[in-house]
Amino acid sequence: MKRFLAALIGTLTLMLAVSCTTFHPVAINGDIGSKRGESTGHIICGLIFIGQGDILDAAKNGGITHVSTVDIRTTNIMGGIYIRNTTIVSGE
């Protein structure tokens, strides 16, 4: 029982300590514009979705009518228990 408890505590500690952020360019359509917009969505335990995090919402937040670039930044905390996706667009 002590070994199981120690393994469980060790695993939970590692999950709390591990986080990763990646940044992916998705699309480029011409020059980078002067306007920039972001939209963020959160996923908790793969069951609860909060926010949009999509291109249309990001363009609307930045007042963009012609999208030039799309980038996605993903932050994964505790092995996927919490995920934050931010879509970043630029354009005119």
78: pLDDT strictly greater than 80: no
Spatial CA neighbour of 28 closest among 1, 64, 67, 83: 67
pLDDT at res. 17: 67
pLDDT at res. 16: 67
Measured CA to CA, the distance from residue 54 to residue 31 in angstroms comes to 21
Rank 19-23, 40-44, 80-84 by mean pLDDT and report only the highest.
Answer: 40-44
Segment holding 55, helix H or strand E: helix 55-62
pTM score? 0.74
Measured CA to CA, the distance from residue 78 to residue 84 in angstroms comes to 12
Residue carrying the six token digits 């590692």: 14
